[in-house]
Amino acid sequence: MFLDVTIRRNKELLEAAIYLHQKGEIKPNTYVVDVDNVVENAKRIKEEADKNHINLYMMTKQIGRNPELAKRIVEVGIHKAVAVDPWEAMTLARHGIKIGNVGHLVQLPSNMLEDIVALDPEVITVFTTEKAKEISHIAEGQGKVQDILLKLIDDKDLIYEGQTGGFKLNELKEKAKEIMELKGVRIVGVTAFPCFLYDSNERKILKTPNTKTLIEGARILREELNLDLKQINAPSANSVASLPLLKEIGANYGEPGHAFTGTIPINADIDQVEIPAMVYVSEVSHLFEGVAYAYGGGFYRRGNLKGALVGRNLEEALNNKLAAIQLSPANIDYYGGLEIKDREVRVGDTVIYAFRTQIFVTRSEVALVEGIKEGKARVIGIYDSLGNRLK
């Protein structure tokens, strides 16, 4: 998906990834991250957010909850993280990263609430009055009032499979009243997901129907219940290109993730401010009946994988682009197949992919590399897919 734009805009990353693999510093099934460009991307995103008066939480699931990258982003001025689930919140907090929002895509399990509330997250997102009551009870026991966001949803909204849940507009007022009676929580905002998506036909980022639900829900709470809402949180596809859209609809919080590595869908079609800063490195395991099999472990079904570069140096690889064989739903991620056709491919060749991923759901390693732009690539750390340092 991002191979062509990476060739155009960050060829140095490709060269570094091949070199590090051939030298034996990284294994196949490793995501190589260009740390310097992640930092530059973060600076650009922060500047655009400031210009549009948008507050930001960083999303780290797609980079494997990596604490070192999170610290670099904090230094840019994006001080808190949104955790996709409580395990991510605990991982980041262990490394001193402050938690901004938790519970949005994955509600907090009852027996983890004590630990999560103790982290003092800025907000916890809730889907139900039952979860708000649980949080209130825990917060009271810790002598605090926990700020919460209500996740909004309505009949015509776009919802990904497995992510259903939230407060419907026709019940919002009554449910919010019930929550307002609780002593340990305080409603401070609303959120929805996904609020923006890239349309490849129109070649631009568009508002989803969910944005209308978000803004109407905020109006109900403000005008009919006189709530002082601090957050109108509008995640999904948050990047330099979309931050003005947040301001346009009246949102004041965003949650960029893929923008830090330049792996936002629009970047596959139109060069954006963010530079591609991540590739997936594998190795040819074996050849069989016209197919080169590369080690897996990091493939992602929604990655829109199209092909890979194969070779033992940059020149070879750039002249050896192979089409990918699409993975079936029955596939176990042992290998990825590449069509050899008339190309020369050898066992042990480096394979470079560039696709959209979610590292936290893989079994890959993550290599953080500095000095790529200067031609002095050096690995500063290797982590597992859940943010634990390996070496």
The beta strands (E) that lie in the chain are given as 30-34, 55-59, 80-83, 98-102, 123-126, 146-153, 167-168, 185-191, 196-199, 204-207, 231-233, 253-254, 278-288, 291-295, 307-311, 321-323, 335-339, 350-353, 365-370, 378-384
Q: What is the pLDDT of residues 225-234, one digit of tens each?
A: 999 999 999 9
pLDDT at 302 over 80: no
What is the share, in percent, of the chain residues with pLDDT greater than 70?
100
| Omega before residue 109 within 30° of 0, cis | no
pLDDT at 115 over 80: yes
Mean pLDDT across the stretch 5-29? 97
User: What's the rounded Cα separation, in Å, for the pair 54 and 57?
Assistant: 10
Q: What predicted TM-score, i.e. pTM, was given to this entire model?
A: 0.95
The residue behind tokens 């290599």 is 367
Collect all residues with Cβ–Cβ distance below 8 Å to 225 and sequence separation of at least 6: 173, 176, 177, 180
Amino acid 346: pLDDT: 97
Q: What is the pLDDT of residues 133-156, one digit of tens each?
A: 999 999 999 999 999 999 999 999
pLDDT at 329 over 90: no
* pLDDT range class, residue 300, cuts 50, 70, 90: confident
* pLDDT range class, residue 162, cuts 50, 70, 90: confident
Three-class DSSP category at 257: coil
Amino acid 323: pLDDT: 96
Amino acid 331: pLDDT: 84
Burial class (CB in 10 A: 0-12, 13-18, 19+), 201: exposed
Mean pLDDT taken over the chain: 96
Q: What is the pLDDT of residues 367-381, one digit of tens each?
A: 999 999 999 999 999
